[in-house]
Amino acid sequence: VLFDAVGTLLRPVPCVAEVYADVGRRFGCELSETEIARRFAAAFAAQEQIDRRWLGGRTSEPRERDRWRRIVGRVFGRPAALEPIFAALWEHFGRAQSWQLDPAAGPLWQELSARGLQLGLASNFDSRLLAICSGKPVLADCRRVFVSSLVGWKKPSVEFFRAIERELTLPATQIMLVGDDLDNDYRAALHAGWRALLLDPRGRWPQLDTIASLGQAAVRLG
């Protein structure tokens, strides 16, 4: 059973807009959190489009760094201080303390491990996720952390899933992905022949195989 990272196991605390606003202010870029959130969503979506349409789902460590530099640049309107702002944000979101682990993750991890399931992460994050996991006691011993920048492909590309199958030497039907993204996690996993569970806290997809909270995963996997 593999879990998506951001939005499923981990969330940034303080939130992205608050951190961007603080860091921007330090370098003379005053923007409201509302405006940052709006620009961030647009910039993030634009980079997702580039990944899908131009790069065909391929990625790498340099591409991830470049992607985030472009997102930061677009949020702040290409400021003179782009490099220091970007560096501060890159470092912030690479620290374990910047991310809160869902409180249900600990008990869930214990219970599923006790049932003999192999657990891991399958994320579109970059190699910073390895350091973040090391800083979270629940995840620190996890040896199966798959990040797209190191796999070379990102979700929803089927190649991302195939690479993990090879690494785990398991057939697609014996792997499940639990994630909060309808396309990148749920649909992509099913398309690859995996099982899938969608974390859907707002109940937007009642017709799909969903859980309202991470804590429900243990029952559903029973």
Binding site for Mg ion (CB under 5 A): 4, 6-7, 180-181
**What is the closest distance, in whole angstroms, from the C-beta atom of residue 6 to Mg ion in the complex?**
5
Compare residues 3 and 20 and give the one whose CB is closer to Mg ion.
3
Compare residues 23 and 188 and give the one whose CB is closer to Mg ion.
188
**What is the closest distance, in whole angstroms, from the C-beta atom of residue 197 to Mg ion in the complex?**
13
Name which of 62, 73, 69, 75 is nearest 36 in CA terms.
Answer: 75
Residue matched to tokens 């399931």: 117
The residues pairing with 178 across neighbouring beta strands, listed in sequence order, are 3, 197
Sequence-ordered list of residues with C-beta below 8 angstroms from that of 201, at least 6 positions apart, any chain: 180, 212, 213
Residue with the shortest CB distance to Mg ion: 7
Compare residues 31 and 214 and give the one whose CB is closer to Mg ion.
214
Compare residues 63 and 155 and give the one whose CB is closer to Mg ion.
155
**What is the closest distance, in whole angstroms, from the C-beta atom of residue 7 to Mg ion in the complex?**
3
Alpha helices (H) along the chain: 16-26, 33-49, 61-75, 82-92, 105-114, 128-134, 148-151, 158-168, 188-191, 217-220
Compare residues 126 and 181 and give the one whose CB is closer to Mg ion.
181
Name which of 169, 201, 200, 168 is nearest 187 in CA terms.
Answer: 200
Residue matched to tokens 């099913």: 190
**What is the closest distance, in whole angstroms, from the C-beta atom of residue 179 to Mg ion in the complex?**
6
**What is the closest distance, in whole angstroms, from the C-beta atom of residue 30 to Mg ion in the complex?**
30
